[in-house]
């Protein structure tokens, strides 16, 4: 009888502890005011042709709205392998599918949508709010291994970016994502036929620049014709070429020449 009581007490303790953790995660995620020197990059792999993807799109859009000035960076990649199933996603790009497959190889996971990869280290289903909140709290309360500072100017449909890195850059590349903040699109065929989908943080271009151990320099980034200072932004990542781990991230602050 004593053993049964002890077992029940252990189970109750675990349940209460788990409830406490979830409550704190939920509370922290609503405000995203988490103490720490970390950052969070949430890379969502999604598609307009996937009926499971809209909830993930909505969740990541909510994270973006709540992030405020916190170092949280949401990137939404529209993959192209859904395009042959009744609806071609206007934002799809084969390069983004390749990026997801590269992650799958490194992380030892399968390729699916919606999938979120966090800081190049872990992954989970993109509509999983509990996992998303845990990733936010864990990432923000940590410490970045490198610090990336970025500035620059707009010039003739290009962005001239000046970067400075504090920390090791042995294997790192500078990944520059040109991001359209919002879009609304009506779907006429496929699994989401008849729906009007809202998208956030759509990666329209991802350009890679080897650092070659440099800690400072300038890169020239081509911008889409539709680029505007108000509706778009540029997010830069320091990512290991082989490890795929993201060591730092920031937004570019640009002036108009």
User: In sequence order, which residues have a C-beta less than 8 Å from that of residue 252 and are 6 or more positions away?
Assistant: 150, 151, 152, 159, 161, 233, 234, 235, 236
Q: How confident is the model at residue 167 (pLDDT cuts 50, 70, 90)?
A: confident
Range of the domain at 105: 36-256
For the record, the structure tokens of 98 come out as 């390749």
CATH number of domain containing 176: 3.40.30.10
In the chain, how many domains are there? 1
Q: Is 157 left (phi over 0), alpha (psi -120 to 50) or beta?
A: left
Give the tens place of pLDDT for each residue, 187-235: 999 999 999 999 999 999 999 999 988 899 999 999 999 999 889 999 9
Q: pLDDT value at position 204?
A: 98
Q: CB-side exposure of 211: number of CA atoms within 13 Å?
A: 26
In a domain, 203, yes or no: yes
Which residues sit opposite 175 in a β-bridge?
A: 208, 237
In a domain, 140, yes or no: yes
pTM of the full structure = 0.87
- The answer to whether the peptide bond before residue 114 is cis (omega within 30 degrees of 0) is yes
Calculate ∠ Cα 36-231-114, nearest 5°: 65
In a domain, 3, yes or no: no
Q: pLDDT value at position 144?
A: 87
In a domain, 93, yes or no: yes
What sign results for the dihedral spanned by CA atoms 20, 24, 26, 27? positive
Give the tens place of pLDDT for each residue, 43-94: 999 999 999 999 999 999 999 999 998 999 999 999 999 999 989 999 999 9
pLDDT-wise least confident of 24-38, 71-85, 118-132, 148-162: 24-38
Q: How confident is the model at residue 14 (pLDDT cuts 50, 70, 90)?
A: very low
Contact 192/48 with Cβ under 8 angstroms?
A: yes
For the record, the structure tokens of 148 come out as 């990336």
């Amino acid at each position: 009888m004593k053993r049964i009581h002890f077992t029940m007490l252990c189970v109750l303790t675990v349940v209460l502890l788990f409830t406490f953790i979830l409550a704190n995660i939920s509370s922290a995620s609503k405000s995203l005011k988490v103490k720490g020197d970390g950052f969070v990059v949430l890379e969502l792999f999604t598609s307009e042709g996937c009926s499971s993807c809209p909830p993930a799109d909505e969740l990541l859009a909510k994270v973006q709205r709540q992030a405020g000035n916190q170092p949280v960076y949401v990137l939404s990649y529209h993959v192209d392998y859904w395009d042959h199933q009744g609806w071609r996603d206007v934002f799809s790009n084969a390069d983004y599918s390749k990026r997801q497959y590269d992650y799958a190889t490194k992380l030892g996971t399968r390729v699916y949508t919606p999938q979120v990869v966090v800081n190049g280290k872990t992954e989970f289903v993109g509509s999983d709010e509990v996992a998303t909140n845990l990733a936010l709290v864990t990432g923000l309360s940590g410490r970045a291994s490198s610090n990336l500072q970025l500035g620059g100017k707009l010039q003739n449909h290009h962005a001239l970016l000046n970067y400075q890195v504090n920390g090791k850059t042995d294997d790192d590349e500078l990944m520059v994502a040109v991001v359209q903040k919002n879009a609304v699109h009506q779907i006429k065929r496929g699994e989401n036929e008849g729906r009007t989908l809202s998208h956030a943080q759509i990666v329209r271009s991802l350009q890679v620049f080897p650092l070659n151990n440099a800690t400072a320099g300038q890169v020239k980034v081509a911008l889409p014709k539709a680029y505007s200072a108000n509706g778009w932004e540029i997010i830069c990542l320091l990512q290991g070429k082989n490890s795929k781990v993201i060591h730092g991230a920031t937004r570019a602050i640009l002036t108009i020449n």
